[in-house]
Structure 1
Amino acid sequence: MGTHELPYLMMIKRILCAGDYVIDIGAHEGYFSLFMSPLVGKSGKVFAIEPNPENLYFLHRNAEINSEHNIQVMGKAISDKKRRARFFCADNMGPWGSLTDFPYFKTWFKTKKTIEVDVDTLDNLFANVNQKIKFLKIDTEGNELNVFLGAEKLLSEHKPHICFEINLILWAHLNSSIDIMLNCPEG
């Protein structure tokens, strides 16, 4: 991680407090999860969701060693429906991966591997959470819109603060409009 994350970390620090529940989608090795863990404290919870098994190893290890023991790691991808799906990983980009097979993979990455992963929706996973979800961090490399489509109930009931990545090159490939997400009807 570099200095470009600093504004997001400062925003998160202003939003979160002890007892909050947060979801880190695309948790990678746990950078944001570990940052949020002491902010929400022992009475709070960080749900760290990551589909890449290589990242999961480090995510589990980092959560065990460095957190307030309030990080629950989930090994799956998040999208708009529950299923098994192909997940595309780039060998030379560390934690980078996506549910979408972008044509840019051929030029950006040395090699690409495909794995099968479990996919679920936020509405399914958090249907029975008793605590309000205060914050969502979403970094799914072009699958952000589908994450939102699978979270309609959670978003309308919990109304969390949201921080998500927009990669304009990937979105252009998907013919997705940022306006779709920014102009979602309020629940």
Structure 2
Amino acid sequence: MFKIIRYVYQKFATCSKIKQLKILEAGVDKEGDPFIKLENGRIFFGPESTSKERKFYKLFLSSGTRKKLPFQCFQIALDIVIRYMEGNLKWGGPAKEAFYNVKEGDVIAEMGAFRGYYTLYLADKVGTSGKIVAIEPIPSNLKYLEKNIAANKLENVIVVPKGVWNENDHKTFQRKSTDFQSGSIDISYNNSEALSIEVNTLDQILQDTNVDQVDFMLIQLNGAEYEALEGLSKFEPKHLAIAARYDKEERNIAQEIRLLLEARDYTTKTLNRKFVYAQLN
């Protein structure tokens, strides 16, 4: 019961922030994809809202907001608030920039980049002198990631259509059929679908994208965070923010990540026992 109450409250809190969005236009394009264009010129594409969201759309949005925001675009608006505006390591969790503020000229490795909403935020902050390596393995997410990058004419983003692991391989991803952000190598879901995804090490991915140094690395891999760091030995990101939310058997993955990074001469901090931040000494 508590989880349900918390979920509804978070929906309410997120919906209340939708009215802060300065929506210039919202609708469906010629390809059938919903979109929202903000007054700052940024445009966001995504899939249609699911029927389960309709009750929140009607209950928590005013008639004036609904007039500007068709229901098809409601999920995009939620994601803009959660990812583009707030940029947390988890819905309701700590901010990705809790200990490091992205600045102009930074090189950033972002995984998983999902549909590119936070990628747009990062691209604005690093400017034309910076670079974003956006890593995302799931094809349906890649479609919108690439479309959002193209629509916003971002020339400082490199998309890597792969998963991250400790070796070069193909892995089976499980994904909730009703939650397209929850793809994982190590976690099985009820009512899931299986996808065969090419995976590679961060060392190889960064080398292939001609990156020399990473200023900030964001790791959100639904259980593969430790393996991602095992495949990172040739590069030393200056700052990291890691969502280590899933333990394996009796292993405390956040603690193991801290020990691994501290052995590599990083200073680490943990928030809420599951979110690890690190800075190279």
State the TM-score, normalized to the length of structure 1.
0.83
Match of 1:25 in 2: 111
CA shift, 1:177, in A, is: 3.2
Match of 2:128, SS state, is: coil
* Superposed counterparts of 1:3-14, under 5 Å: 5=88, 8=95, 10-11=97-98
- One-letter amino acid of the structure 1 residue matched with residue 225 of structure 2: E
Output aligned runs, 1:117-136, within 5 Å: 117-127=197-207, 129-136=210-217
Q: Which residue matches 1:116?
A: 196
Q: Which has the higher contact order (CA 8 A, sep 6+)?
A: 1
Match of 2:258 in 1: 182
Are 2:244 and 2:253, in contact at CA under 8 Å, matched by a contact in 1? no
Please give the secondary structure, in 1, of the residue aligned with 2:95.
helix
Match status 1:76 vs 2:133: no
Once the 2 structures are TM-superposed, how far is the Cα of residue 51 of structure 1 from its aligned partner? 0.6
Report the CA distance between 1:20 and its aligned residue.
1.4
Distance 1:67 1:35 in 2: 13
Shift of 1:66: 2.7
> Partners of 2:201 and 2:171 in 1: how far apart?
13
Contact between 1:30 and 1:59, CA under 8 Å: does it hold in 2? yes
Once the two structures are superposed, the pairs formed by residues 1-187 of structure 1 within 5 Å of their partners are 1=79, 2=82, 5=88, 8=95, 10-11=97-98, 15-66=101-152, 68-102=154-188, 105-106=189-190, 111-127=191-207, 129-155=210-236, 159-167=237-245, 170-173=246-249, 175-184=251-260, 185-187=263-265
In structure 2, distance between residues paired with 1:127 and 1:4: 27
Letter in 1 for 2:207: A
Structure 2 Cα separation of the partners of residues 25 and 181 of structure 1: 16
Matches of 1:160 and 1:68, distance apart in 2: 24
Unpaired runs of 5+ residues, structure 2, are 1-78, 266-281
The letter for the 2-side match of 1:134 is D
Q: String of CA shifts for 1:76-107, please: whole Å, max 9, x gaps.
A: 000110111111111101221001143xx12x
- Alignment-mate amino acid for residue 127 of structure 1: Q
Three-state SS of the structure 1 residue aligned to 2:114 is coil
In structure 1, list runs of 5 or more residues that go unmatched: none
Task: State the secondary structure of the residue aligned to 1:62.
Answer: helix
Q: Please say if residues 38 and 67 of structure 1, whose CA atoms lie closer than 8 Å, have aligned partners that are also in contact.
A: no
What is the percentage of aligned positions where both structures have the same residue? 23
Aligned-partner Cα distance in 1 for 2:171–2:177: 19
1:37 partner letter: A
CA RMSD of aligned residues (A): 2.2
| CA shift for structure 1 position 178 | 1.9
Give 2:206's aligned amino acid: F
